[in-house]
């Protein structure tokens, strides 16, 4: 059996997250209505050190989850979170195991010249028709992409002060990736 390592470089994630922060992209109307997403209140955060509550104006994405919380959400060991231009990435320890996930998280505060709604519209446009997702306020979206080597699940949560994106990449089905990003976002949002 030929094993292909699964590793998505920090640059790929940084480019995607940077694209989400582009100002003034204009936006289409996102479809309305709920999508059965599960109940994030059922997610239980693991015991361990908890980062201090964050001031949305000075949020460091790596402060929103501990390494232990990222590993618990991913369901596999991960390396210490590394900041890549505002995107925190917890890489999986074993790149040869396709079932291991790499997870990332980014919080982008709204730039002064841009309204939070515009930031969200731009992000939704970049994601190309994500599904609305219940459980995280008025505007949250789910996007899943199946790949030949790895699948990607992205949860975008629009906030009054900016937006947060949780992403999981690896060889797992959509339902598992959705649960991973739901758990990550639930924990991180409690710290904003």
Every domain of the chain and the residues it spans = 65-192
Are the C-beta atoms of residues 180 and 158 closer than 8 Å to each other? Answer: no
Are the C-beta atoms of residues 12 and 157 closer than 8 Å to each other? Answer: no
- Report the SS3 class of residue 110: coil
Residue pLDDT, tens place only, 36-89: 333 433 433 334 333 333 445 577 899 999 999 999 999 999 999 999 988 999
> In angstroms, what CA-CA distances link 75 with 52, 83, 179?
24, 21, 10
> In this predicted model, which residue has the larger pLDDT, 147 or 18?
147
Q: Is the pLDDT of residue 190 over 50?
A: yes
State which of 27-31, 51-55, 148-152, 159-163 shows the largest mean pLDDT: 148-152
Residue pLDDT, tens place only, 100-125: 899 998 988 878 768 888 889 999 99
> In this predicted model, which residue has the larger pLDDT, 52 or 151?
151
Mean pLDDT, range 141-165, rounded to an integer: 93
Under CATH, which number does the domain 65-192 receive?
3.40.1000
């Amino acid at each position: 059996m030929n094993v292909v390592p699964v590793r998505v470089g920090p640059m790929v994630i940084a480019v995607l997250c940077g694209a989400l922060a582009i100002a003034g992209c204009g936006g289409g109307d996102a479809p309305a209505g709920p999508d059965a997403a599960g109940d994030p209140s059922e997610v239980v955060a693991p015991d361990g050190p908890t980062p201090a509550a964050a001031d949305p104006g000075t949020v460091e994405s790596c402060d929103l989850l501990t390494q232990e919380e990222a590993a618990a959400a991913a369901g596999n060991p991960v390396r210490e979170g590394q900041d890549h231009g505002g995107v925190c990435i917890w890489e999986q320890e074993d790149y040869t195991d396709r079932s291991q996930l790499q997870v990332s998280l980014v919080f982008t505060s709204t730039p002064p010249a841009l309204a939070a709604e515009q930031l969200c519209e731009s992000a939704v446009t970049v994601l190309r028709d994500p599904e609305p997702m219940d459980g995280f306020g008025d505007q949250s979206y789910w996007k899943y992409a199946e790949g030949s080597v790895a699948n990607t699940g992205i949860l975008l949560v629009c906030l009054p002060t900016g937006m947060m994106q949780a992403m999981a990449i690896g060889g797992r089905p959509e339902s598992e990736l959705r649960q991973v990003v739901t758990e990550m976002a639930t924990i991180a949002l409690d710290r904003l």
